[in-house]
Amino acid sequence: MIKKEKRQIEDLIEILKTVLKEDAPDKISGHDRLREDLGLNSFHFMAMIFLIEDEWDIKLEQEKMTRISTVRDLFDLLCEAGTDAKVQ
């Protein structure tokens, strides 16, 4: 994994922890499902999207957000939306 990709994943996980607050697990992996494993509800999801768009100065397409199920799906969407990380 390249250094920049690792940093972007770490930033994404920090955003998830910020949104989840005290409900955030100690460890979050790419395979974690946002709703089922992490407990994200609709409010959490929208707050997370707002923070992501602000952090990376991007606009995520609403129709593509519907396919986000896992942390890895979210990272892949970020890459697709214009961040310059590479997904292995």
- Measure the CA–CA gap between 2 and 6, rounded to whole angstroms: 6
CATH topology for 3-81 is 1.10.1200
What pLDDT shows up at residue 49? Answer: 92
Which DSSP letter does residue 83 get?
-
Rounded to two decimals, the pTM is 0.81
What pLDDT shows up at residue 9? Answer: 85
pLDDT in tens, 7-57: 888 889 999 999 999 888 989 999 999 999 999 999 999 999 999 988 888
State the average pLDDT over residues 68-82. Answer: 88
Give the contacts of 2 (CB within 8 A, at least 6 positions apart). 85, 86
- Domain spans, the chain: 3-81
What pLDDT shows up at residue 1? Answer: 53
Banded pLDDT at 83 (limits 50, 70, 90): low
Structure-token pair, residue 77: 């969407």
Give the contacts of 46 (CB within 8 A, at least 6 positions apart). none
